[in-house]
Each structure stands twice: as C-alpha cells, then as structure tokens.
C-alpha cells in the first residue's frame, strides 16, 4: 500500500463507526471501497461478486481536528441472491453509503429500496439513519448517462442525504468525499453526545 507523506499530527481520539455500503450488484461498491482504502492505488480489474458482507476498516482523519474515525465499512452484496438475509449481517447499522451507477436508471431506483430496507432494519427505530447518496461511474461519456444528477440530488436532499458524484475508475474522482462526509457526521454526533453527557454530569460533584 502506498503511504502518502502527511504532516504528522497527534491523534487525541479514535472513534469507531459501522457503515453499510449498499447498492445494486456490479455498480462499483467494492471498487469504490478499494480505491478509497488504498488511496487510489487499487482498482479491481476483474469483477468479483461480493457474497454476504465484507468488512473493511478505513481510517478517516476529520479535517481540522485531531480526531480519527475508523469506518467499519460493511461492503454489502448487491445481488438478489443475498437480499433476504442481508440485513442480519448488518446487525444494527445506523450509517450508510448508498451507491448507484449513473448509466443504469434501475440502480438509482434500487437505492430508494435500499434506503427503506436500511430504515426498517434498525433495531432501534428512534435512532435516525444517516446516509449519503453516491453516483458512481460519472467518467462515462454523457450519452451513456441515464440518471440526471440533479434528479438524484433532489431525492437525496428530500430525504436528508448528502449527495456526491464520483468515479471509482482510475485515476478516480472525488472518491474520498462520501467517506469523509459520513465520518464527519459521526464525529459531530459524538461531540454532541459528549456535550450532553458533560451537561448531565455537572450537577454530580462529590
């Protein structure tokens, strides 16, 4: 793995967050994950279908902080073969990356179904599901685009998701953005919760 030269900083906290990566089969979920975790050096040339769920740990440093978030990415099989049992593998997940292929309208429609499946699979329905929507393969020539990005963006906005258009194919485009976004969302939740804990404890002085 190529390690980029980065300015060393002292990490003061490491947070951990489980994230389901979902979308229909063969739209490039695993390629996106691989390109992100290898910092752009590993794109799977030959397609291999993911079975069940593969777990990949991807560290993300939150910009302008000394906090690291380790994303436990549950790269989820998109194939219909696994759809019945798949939510069991998630085992309680409240963060997700929904991916579709801009050259196939049905994969965008499928994201809406994945969104509903994720929401219904939450053990605690009171806890919100946080997700980002990712349009992959935007490097394809415009005549092959079936999904209008503004339409996807609108659906994302209406459902409270951030939207990103990326290309996992080398050299890659904006691959990091969706991962940094979800990690930052988690970090903010943590900071909010910690502030709540501190406020709650203030009255207990002994």
Partner 1 sequence: MKDFAREENGGLIVMASCSDERFPPENMLDGKDNTFWVTTGMFPQEFVLKLDSCIRVSKITTLSLNVRKLAVEKCDQEKPDQFEKVFEVELANRGDRLQTEVHQVNIRAKYLKFIILQGHGEFATVNRVSVVGGDDDGAYEDQGYGSMQRQPSMGYGGSAATGFNASRPESGGAAGGGGGFEDEF
- The residues binding partner 1 (CB under 8 A) are 12-18, 69, 72, 91-92, 94, 123-124, 127, 186, 189-190, 193-194, 196-197, 199-206
The nearer residue to partner 1, 94 or 164, going by C-beta atoms, is: 94
Report yes or no: 66 and 12 within 8 Å, Cβ to Cβ: yes
Across-strand partners of 31? none
* 131, 115 Cβ separation under 8 angstroms: yes
Least separation in angstroms between residue 2's CB and partner 1 is: 28
What does each C-alpha distance from 157 to 127, 133, 206 come to in angstroms? Answer: 19, 10, 47
Do 157 and 163 touch, CB atoms closer than 8 A?
A: yes
Neighbours of 111 (CB within 10 A): 26
Q: What dihedral do alpha carbons 182, 185, 187, 193 form, nearest 10°? A: -140
Closest to partner 1 by CB, 72 or 82: 72
Smallest distance from partner 1 to CB 186, Å: 7
Outline where 121-148 has alpha helix (H). Answer: none
CB nearer to partner 1: pick between 8 and 142: 8
Which helix (H) or strand (E) element contains residue 29?
helix 29-37
Q: Measured from the CB of residue 11, what is the shortest distance to partner 1 in angstroms? A: 9
Q: Whole-number minimum distance, CB 28 to partner 1, in Å?
A: 26
- Closest approach, Cβ 187 to partner 1, in A, equals 10
Cβ proximity to partner 1: between 44 and 92 the closer is: 92
Which whole-number Å values give the CA distances from 136 to 31, 41, 71, 204, in the listed order?
Answer: 10, 18, 20, 51
Q: Nearer Cβ to partner 1, position 121 or 135? A: 121
């Amino acid at each position: 793995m190529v390690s980029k030269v980065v300015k060393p900083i002292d990490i003061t906290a490491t947070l951990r967050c489980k994230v389901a990566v979902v979308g229909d089969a063969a739209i490039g979920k695993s390629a996106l994950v691989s390109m992100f975790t290898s910092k752009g050096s590993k794109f799977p040339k030959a397609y291999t279908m993911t079975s069940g769920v593969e777990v990949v740990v991807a560290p993300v440093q939150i910009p302008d902080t000394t906090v690291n978030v380790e994303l436990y990415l549950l790269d989820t099989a998109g194939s219909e073969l696994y759809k019945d049992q798949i939510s069991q593998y998630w085992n309680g997940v409240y963060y997700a990356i929904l991916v579709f292929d801009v050259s196939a309208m049905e994969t965008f429609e499928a994201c809406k179904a994945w969104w509903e499946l994720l929401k219904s699979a939450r053990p605690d329905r009171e806890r919100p599901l946080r997700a980002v929507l990712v349009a992959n393969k935007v490097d394809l020539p415009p005549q092959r685009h079936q999904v209008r990005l503004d339409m996807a963006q609108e659906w994302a906005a209406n459902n409270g998701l951030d939207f990103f258009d990326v290309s996992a194919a080398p050299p890659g485009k904006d691959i990091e953005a969706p991962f940094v976004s979800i990690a930052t969302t988690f970090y903010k939740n943590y900071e909010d919760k910690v502030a709540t804990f501190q406020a709650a404890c203030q009255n207990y002085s002994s």
